[in-house]
A and B are shown apart, each in its own frame.
Chain A
Amino acid sequence: MRLNRRKFLVTSAAASTVLGAPAILRAQPSEYVVAASLPLTGPFATAGQLVAPALRMFEALTNQDGGIGGVPIRVTAEDSGYIPANALANYQRALATEENLVMYFGDSTGFMKLVAPELRGENARLMGSTSFASELADPASNPYQYLPGPSYEDQFDILLNQIKDEGGSTVAFIHSNTEFGRDPLAHGRATAEELGLRIVLEEATREQGADIPTHVTQLAQSGADYAILQGYVTGVWPQLIGGARQFGLPTRFMGTFWGMENAIADRVTDEAGPILDGYSGVMPYKYFYDPERGPAYERFAAFQKEAFAGSPLENYMPTWGLQALFSLQIGLEALRRVADKGLELTADNAAEALAELQDWDTGGFFGKPVSMVDNKIGTGRVYQYSAETKLFSPTSDWFTV
């Protein structure tokens, strides 16, 4: 082949592209992507639809603060209908189509358990979620998934100890027929045995649209002093309590995080009367209306007043939104620390940075600095609902399990 001018120019252009390519690749990405799977349709659609704007707020506020290491973030969300296989497809789609995916937000205990064995190598990303399942807080086998609060097992321990302190002797576990509902039951049984409490009923119901009279009858027949409700978000728990009160049962009801939303309790009180008075449970964070709310909540309130005017989120952020915001905040903090150290934003580096979140001031989500131990933050409070004030008020100090 004779080397003429055209061939020389073409070859040198190709060569410079090849030589220059690594330099182009090593340049900083234009944005980082945080993808989420939310139950925008299906049994928990109410909660999902309220969390979606909170993600937009997270994106806006994070970018106001300079993103991660100066690079802005973009938050995307897909619907899963609360079906784990759909959430898995959403995760794979995000992995395949988004460059620079740094963090994922899962939407169910079922999805987190389904995806856990697949988080290896190239397919691993830092993964927060709506789940407080204890199985996920296992850095040895599952370093990329974390809990933004105490696990359901811890929450059951707190409640069972509370029952013991108040002098109760019989407990009923009423739960939804999902991974979310069943997660802490085995541990709850063991703790109850240790404390000398008798579990007189374990009742599985549908997570939405359950047959209330049947379950209330079972509860009445068991004669339990206390009942712990697990696995409900927007419904079933108020109806169960209302049904029990109508029946005339003196049972005291307690719940875990997802059944502690003030908006639901207020609506029930408005429409059905003070049936929820005395309902208590574990909630890891401060409520949005807490008189001593910190700078983080103030910032959210200012943004919400402007951006969400005319919607239910104008003056209030439900606990579901707070959970999503805090879960993403944890991931963001870990990623920022990795970026500050000048390391690449890989899942392994982020997982290591998670363990370094010790005595961290979250800006007002909790009443004191918290630490990430074994991929969970074991801090929270017990709250009780009062139908008079229509608020959940704390009945314990900030505990750390």
Chain B
Amino acid sequence: MITGNLKSSYAADEQVLDNRWKRGFLLACLAGLAAIAAFGNNYVILIACQMGIMLIAVTGVNVVIGYTGLMSLGHAAFVAIGAYAVVIFHNTAGAWLPDSVATVVAIPVAVAVSALIGVIVGLPSLRVKGLYLAVATLSANFIVIFLIEQDVFAPWTGGMNGINTPAPNLLGWEMDTRREQFVLIAALAVLSLLAAQNLFRTRVGRAFIAIRDRDYSAEILGISLYRYKLMSFAISAAYCGLAGALFAYFYARILPEQFELDLSLMLVAAIIVGGMGRTMGPVFGVIVIVMVPEVITVLFGAIAGGGAELAQIRAPIQEIAFGALIVGFLLFEPFGITHITDRALRALNRWPFARG
């Protein structure tokens, strides 16, 4: 039994980070991110940025799948919308704004556009559930990519050949190196994770959880399914739109083939492996899905050497290793890595009484 978590004021009781371990963990993470920004080489920064962008997207997917229980296989569409919205904004309305302001306006615009389209894509959730909703949302991914690739929209989206993206300019701070963009991405990733954690302490978040547990009971209790299901899709689409906006700023060029079904499935795989319905789920999921393949590549490269012929054998083995890891996870820990850390922390908390 946990003791010692005593509060003497309502304000202290209402804090998100209410004990020193949680505050310490957050500070340690911030220190780690600062260390990466200061000392990491370009490759580490690249992987860290990719992880940060994926983290924001997977947090959004966690909101709709993990907390609201609505299966969605089309969230790469919102990442694409966020990315292209930023580029189109910079090329059209943003051309009249001074450079330092354009980015600061473009990101909220991309988030708003994604949220709006999220509401439309979420409409099937009012009629169907489970597998049927998964298939209905799958269509969103294909429709959005199809529209982006059409020649009719090519003057704005670059069509099938992709389009070059601008560098972000935060009120005069021109972020044209990856390291500077990492600072922006890391800051937004931490903020969005904290925002998601806070969301589930509010009435809206509790409504989502009620819908996940049994949606007709929630309706009987007075939670309007119409409002809250669409709000869940809107919020998750907004998160993915933010990830897409950062994706556009991060890569020098975006291609529609980067947002296909593979990305949707990667987001869902990340949240399942990480643990659905938990704040740290997206973090662990992104670590496994994004970082582990790179670690495998580096490890195998270090063991076997980088020669071209060895790469022939190494490459399929790397893929097999990663696939086996995912399958192993789902077999032995279907609730995700957060369940493993739960048990570990509980054992640590009760030590030495937890043994046996």
Which residues of A does B touch, CB under 8 Å? 35-36, 38, 40-41, 49, 52-53, 55-56, 59, 74-79, 81, 84-85, 88-89, 92-93, 95-97, 110, 113-118, 123, 177-179, 182-183
B42 contacts partner chain A, Cβ-Cβ < 8 Å = yes
Q: Given contacts A38-B311, A78-B311, is CB(A96)–CB(B42) below 8 Å?
A: yes
Q: Given contacts A110-B257, A179-B255, is CB(A56)–CB(B42) below 8 Å?
A: no
Interface residues of B in 129-172 (CB under 8 A from A): 160-162, 164
Q: List 22 A-B contacts (CB under 8 A).
A: A36-B308, A38-B311, A40-B311, A40-B316, A49-B312, A59-B308, A76-B307, A78-B311, A81-B315, A81-B319, A84-B257, A89-B43, A89-B294, A92-B46, A93-B43, A97-B43, A115-B252, A116-B252, A123-B42, A179-B257, A182-B161, A183-B161
CA distance A88 to B298 in the complex (A): 15
CB-nearest residue of chain A to B251: A114
Q: Given contacts A75-B308, A76-B306, A95-B43, is CB(A40)–CB(B257) below 8 Å?
A: no
Q: Which of B41, B44, B258, B315 has a CB less than 8 Å from the CB of A40?
A: B315
B31 contacts partner chain A, Cβ-Cβ < 8 Å = no
A77 and B42 form a contact (CB under 8 A): no
Q: Which of A74, A79, A84 has a CB less than 8 Å from the CB of B255?
A: A84
B307 contacts across to A, CB distance below 8 A: 56, 75-77
A89 contacts across to B, CB distance below 8 A: 43, 46-47, 50, 294
The smallest beta-carbon distance between A296 and chain B, in angstroms, is: 19
B315 and A79 form a contact (CB under 8 A): yes
The smallest beta-carbon distance between B11 and chain A, in angstroms, is: 45
The smallest beta-carbon distance between A305 and chain B, in angstroms, is: 17
Q: Which of A78, A118, A177 has a CB less than 8 Å from the CB of B301?
A: A78
Number of interface residues of B (CB under 8 A): 32
The smallest beta-carbon distance between A347 and chain B, in angstroms, is: 15
Q: Given contacts A41-B316, A79-B315, A113-B162, is CB(A85)–CB(B43) below 8 Å?
A: no
B212 contacts partner chain A, Cβ-Cβ < 8 Å = no
B316 contacts across to A, CB distance below 8 A: 40-41
Residue interface mask B312-333, A partner, CB < 8 A = 1 = 1011101100000000000000
B22 contacts partner chain A, Cβ-Cβ < 8 Å = no
Beyond A78-B311, A88-B46, A88-B251, list 9 extra A-B contacts (CB 8 Å): A36-B308, A40-B316, A49-B312, A75-B307, A77-B311, A78-B297, A81-B319, A117-B252, A123-B42
CA distance A182 to B151 in the complex (A): 12
B315 contacts across to A, CB distance below 8 A: 40-41, 78-79, 81
B44 contacts across to A, CB distance below 8 A: 96
B309 contacts partner chain A, Cβ-Cβ < 8 Å = yes
A110 contacts across to B, CB distance below 8 A: 255, 257
Interface SS, A side: helix
CA distance A328 to B255 in the complex (A): 27
Number of A-B contacts (CB under 8 A): 102
B308 and A118 form a contact (CB under 8 A): no
The smallest beta-carbon distance between A342 and chain B, in angstroms, is: 29
Interface residues of B in 293-307 (CB under 8 A from A): 294, 297-298, 301, 306-307
CB-nearest residue of chain A to B46: A92
CA distance A114 to B164 in the complex (A): 9
B214 contacts partner chain A, Cβ-Cβ < 8 Å = no
CA distance A77 to B309 in the complex (A): 8
Interface residues of B in 206-242 (CB under 8 A from A): none
The smallest beta-carbon distance between B62 and chain A, in angstroms, is: 23
The smallest beta-carbon distance between B256 and chain A, in angstroms, is: 10
Q: Which of B42, B255, B309, B319 has a CB less than 8 Å from the CB of A53?
A: B309
B161 contacts across to A, CB distance below 8 A: 113, 179, 182-183
B46 contacts across to A, CB distance below 8 A: 88-89, 92
CB-nearest residue of chain B to A49: B312
CB-nearest residue of chain A to B160: A182
B298 and A93 form a contact (CB under 8 A): yes
Most chain B CB atoms below 10 A, which of A59, A78, A113, A178 = A78
A56 and B309 form a contact (CB under 8 A): yes
CA distance A115 to B257 in the complex (A): 15
CB-nearest residue of chain B to A105: B308
Most chain A CB atoms below 10 A, which of B252, B258, B297, B298 = B252
CB-nearest residue of chain B to A55: B308
Q: Given contacts A41-B316, A52-B308, is CB(A117)–CB(B253) below 8 Å?
A: yes
The smallest beta-carbon distance between A127 and chain B, in angstroms, is: 14
The smallest beta-carbon distance between A189 and chain B, in angstroms, is: 11
Interface residues of B in 237-270 (CB under 8 A from A): 251-253, 255, 257-258
Q: Which 10 A-B pairs have the closest CB atoms?
A: A76-B306, A79-B315, A117-B252, A96-B43, A40-B315, A55-B308, A77-B308, A77-B311, A96-B41, A52-B308
A178 and B308 form a contact (CB under 8 A): no
CA distance A182 to B257 in the complex (A): 12
The smallest beta-carbon distance between A200 and chain B, in angstroms, is: 17
